[in-house]
Amino acid sequence: MISEKELQELAAYTPTDTPVVSLYLNVDPKQLTTDGYRLRLRGLLKEAERPDLAEDLGAIEKYFEHEYDWSGRSVVVFSSQPAGFWQTCSLAVPLSRSRLEIGPKPFIRPLVHLTDTYGSYGVVIVNRQGGRLFDFHMGQLVETDTYLGEETRRIKRGGGSSRGGASRSGGRGGARREREVAAQNLREVAEATTAFFEQQGLKHLLSAGTDETVAQFHEMLPKQLQDAVVGTFSIDMNAGHNEVLERSLEIVQDADQRREAELVETVITAAAKGSNGVIRLDDTLGAVSEGRAQTLIVSDGFRAPGYRCQSCTYLTGQALSACPFCGGQIQEIPDAVELAIRRVIDHGGEVEIIEQKDNLDRAGGIGALLRY
């Protein structure tokens, strides 16, 4: 698993005179066997063969032969052996495709996409007695706590049964009491969920249970958390860890596709109105250079050369004779998109790599929502 801090450190990597090899290998056992992935790895290494990469490709081959245990669903390796740089990460989520990239810095675009898709989720399962809370990050699910309402805890301690009390006091009154207890239990879970969401710094929430209970639970959440709910599913309160994980993965993937489509439409519409959005390479690079890009969106696989000022690092898609801001010398760079991604991350913005990209491709392959 990779943290946001580690991603920022990769983005801030200082280039040396030697290139960095970035390998992304999908090893999802649902798609191919281990032998199949070994064959794919050999093909990627063969395609990258050149004298200055011999040490890196050898180190990668040795890692997969003697160290990697072929667990998880994907693995990432960054290597620049002459510079003493080596980092590996096994992930519990699959990659859309395997690839090997060579450049002056680690190629982080696929990692950005994975953290956007599978990071910062909370999962809560609720019923009339209480709830279970989970932290879902990069395909790993950790149960943090189980909450039972005060009345339920009292009954479990042997303090009597509200159901038994209901039968003695009459069916209608007993049913009303059960509804009151259930509502109080859900309120307590809603309060615990709110605290958990804030403490963990989460962005999205999945809720599960019966349709009726989940709907009632949502009404008890503060508005901010209601807006953070991106999906719901039906599941038993006592469901096992693997079942909760698989259902969460399905919902997260569906929610991400919807979110991407809505974000692309928002950016394109904002750009058309001349408000807080830009599309196409040159306008987007300008916004990134000025620190105005809050959320950068990029079509998966989109690359474009560009130009960078060697003095103030201004980015542009145009071949200018001098920097319009400081008059510095302009240098051509092979991939302005990757550099824009790093800039946005460095400035605390967000980056979305768009897989369902037809609309964005027609709009130039890149765009951004602006801070101002």
Distance CA 60, CA 251 (A): 34
- Quick: pLDDT tens for 158-175: 554 444 444 444 556 677
pTM of the model: 0.75
Ranges of residues in the chain whose predicted pLDDT is under 70:
1, 149-173
- The CATH number of the domain where 31 resides is what? 3.30.960.10
Q: Are 73 and 132 within one domain?
A: no
Give yes or no: residues 78 and 134 share one domain: no
Residues 6+ apart with CB under 8 A from 86: 59, 78, 79, 80
Tell me, yes or no, whether 180 and 150 share the same domain. yes
- pLDDT at position 145, please? 84
Residue 113 in domain: no
Residues 153, 233: one domain? yes
Identify whether residues 272 and 220 lie together within a single domain.
no
Q: Does the residue 211 lie in any domain? A: yes
- Same domain (yes/no): 363, 293: yes
Are residues 94 and 171 located together in one domain of the fold?
A: no
Classify residue 98: in a domain, yes or no.
yes
Q: Is residue 250 domain-resident? A: no
- Residue 112 lies inside a defined structural domain of this protein: no
Note whether residue 152 is domain-resident: yes
Given 77, 107, 137, the domain boundary residue is 107
Q: Is residue 272 located within the same domain as residue 180?
A: no
Last residue of a domain, one of 239, 269, 287: 239
Domain-located, residue 268:
yes
- The domain boundary, picked from 208, 239, 270, lies at 239
CA–CA distances in Å: residue 145 to residues 133, 134, 148, 164, 211 = 6, 7, 10, 29, 22
Residues 143 and 226 in one domain: yes
Domain count, the chain: 3
- My answer on whether 189 and 163 are in the same domain is yes
| CATH code, 322 | 3.30.1330.30
Residues 92 and 41 in one domain: yes
For residue 150, give the CATH number of its domain: 3.30.420.60
In-domain check, residue 31: yes
What domain range is 61 assigned to? 4-107
- C-alpha–C-alpha distance, residues 198 and 194, integer Å: 6
| pLDDT score, position 313 | 85
Q: Based on the fold, state whether residues 124 and 95 are members of the same structural domain.
A: no
Give the Cα separation of 136 and 223 in Å (integer).
Answer: 22
